[in-house]
Amino acid sequence: MKIVIAGAGVVGESLCSELSAEGNDVILIEKEEKILNKLVETYDITGLVGNGASYETLLEAGTDTADIFIAATESDELNIISSIIAKKLGTKFTIARVRNPEYSSNMQFVREGLGISLMINPEQETAKSIANKLMFPVALSVENFFGQRAGFISIRVQKDNFLNGMQLKELEFSSKDKVIICTVRRGEDVFIPSGDFTILEGDIVHIAGSKEAVHKFYDKIEKSNLKIDSALLVGGGTISHYLIGKLLENKIKVKVIENNKERAEKLSESYPKAIVIRGDEADQEFLMQEGINNYDSTVILTDSDEENTVITMFVNSITNSKLITKMNRTLMLSILEKNTRTSTVVPKKVISDMIISVVRSKTNMRGSTMSFLYRLESQVEFITFEINKNSRAIDISLKDLKIKKGTLIASILRDGKMIFPGGNDAIKINDSVMVVTTASSIEDFDDILE
């Protein structure tokens, strides 16, 4: 596919890396020539120096014949304007990154009125992810799929966990409460386990099922019934703006520490039920004075990865509270994971997953449409497909389907009912199917077939 991207920031670079690696023809527009040249030398892309909102620049980049245009500059206004122009020039599908809460509250009106195909807010999506993590304090990650009907969580198996030493075939569930262990990460290796697989202490297991079944299974795993009633947010940026509202809705007491006067005042005005304190987020003595060790959870959201890393190390050393850290780059993730209890969120991963899902769904017009994509680092993908009449898998028993190695058909949503399929089950037209796979560049459900 021909894809034009405006903006070579963190998100733009991530998209260039992933979209070019999947064989797309990527043209990057960036006004800073030095930054552009670096990315052109690093990735298999074409570069164009210019303003992403310029009619002439967009025309020179070939947006009139592009399949997808992605506006990912630091300016919401520029992203909106460039997407409108690209659409008028003839781009089939336009995506704009919009972060400002003032625009987000009217996103549907702006999108429909201006003809932008998709508007994505990574900060808002990141806030949703953090709120989900606080609902399952011991979980490392939490995601929803099948239109919020189902979800999956990842947890680290502790010594006293009933899963420790158990073979998967020994797990027993009622049909209503059934969940499936999709993947197991052990050290650097990731397994899609069979029934004979034995879970060990230290394994990270990914569990999928209906939202109710996942909740029940989580409660069985986490017997301490740890519940988050209070949260301290360190950093009062855009993510905090979205997150505060979600936490207050869930009856969680919120305190925010923000050094910038304007940001602090705006948050205080927007959320009178939250406590907003102006102060240095990196001042350890100040954090102690504000009672950081008295909160059930601490969410670290400053604009600096280095600052977030230092604060995380400090909080990890003085409290056992639920700890969540935002990171803009992935370089420090392994350090945090090895040395702290924190659960990390990466906004660029949120938006890149969403955009990659859109790109792949536009690439294929065969037997399915991709509706959800979640990537576990670079090793495993969780994908849901909406099956149409052109799929080669329809009405064939799963035991007779030749499925690629390292792939699992985890669940099927049919007429609002979630099914964990066995060998005698078959996929039907209009099914939503969750696939877990270690294969790369899966664009269509039929790509998992040999």
Domain of 260, CATH number, reads 3.40.50.720
Q: In what order do the strands lie in the sheet with 204-210?
A: 141-145, 150-156, 204-210, 179-186, 189-191
If asked whether residues 263 and 335 sit together in one domain, one would say: yes
Reference 353, options 334, 374, 339; nearest CA is 374
If asked whether residues 270 and 360 sit together in one domain, one would say: no
If asked whether residues 388 and 443 sit together in one domain, one would say: yes
Higher pLDDT, 404 or 105: 404
Q: Which residue has the tokens 């078959």?
A: 426
Looking at 188, 221, 254, the residue that finishes a domain is 221
Tally of domains within the chain: 4
Spatial separation of the C-alpha atoms in residues 21 and 14, rounded to whole Å: 11
Local confidence band at 219 (pLDDT 50, 70, 90 cut-offs): confident
Spatial separation of the C-alpha atoms in residues 180 and 195, rounded to whole Å: 11
Mean pLDDT of the chain: 89
If asked whether residues 52 and 154 sit together in one domain, one would say: no
CA torsion through residues 43, 48, 52, 57, sign: negative
Q: What is the pLDDT of residue 22?
A: 85
pLDDT reading at 28 higher than 90:
yes
Looking at 221, 242, 261, the residue that finishes a domain is 221
If asked whether residues 240 and 333 sit together in one domain, one would say: yes
Q: What is the pLDDT of residue 36?
A: 97
Local confidence band at 149 (pLDDT 50, 70, 90 cut-offs): confident
Local confidence band at 62 (pLDDT 50, 70, 90 cut-offs): very high
Q: Using CB atoms within 10 Å of the CB of residue 408, give its burial: 0 to 12 exposed, 13 to 18 middle, 19+ buried.
A: buried
- Phi, psi (degrees; rounded to nearest 5) at 5: -120, 130
Q: Are 91 and 69 in contact (CB under 8 A)?
A: yes
Looking at 327, 345, 363, the residue that finishes a domain is 345
If asked whether residues 180 and 257 sit together in one domain, one would say: no
Q: What are the pLDDT digits (tens) for 241-278?
A: 999 999 999 999 999 999 999 999 999 999 999 999 99
If asked whether residues 240 and 153 sit together in one domain, one would say: no
Q: Are 49 and 33 in contact (CB under 8 A)?
A: yes
Q: What is the pLDDT of residue 332?
A: 79
If asked whether residues 71 and 142 sit together in one domain, one would say: no
Q: Using CB atoms within 10 Å of the CB of residue 419, give its burial: 0 to 12 exposed, 13 to 18 middle, 19+ buried.
A: middle
Range of 436's domain?
354-448
Q: Is residue 310 one of the residues assigned to a domain?
A: yes
Task: Please tell me the least confidently modeled range out of 144-153, 198-207, 325-334, 370-379.
Answer: 370-379
Q: What are the pLDDT digits (tens) for 390-446?
A: 999 999 999 999 999 889 999 999 998 999 898 999 999 999 999 999 887 788 899
Q: Is residue 56 one of the residues assigned to a domain?
A: yes
If asked whether residues 443 and 378 sit together in one domain, one would say: yes
Q: What is the pLDDT of residue 363?
A: 66
If asked whether residues 79 and 150 sit together in one domain, one would say: no
C-alpha pair distances (Å), 297 with each of 125, 226, 244, 265: 19, 11, 13, 23
Residue 367, domain CATH: 3.30.70.1450
Bridge partners (DSSP) listed for residue 155: 205
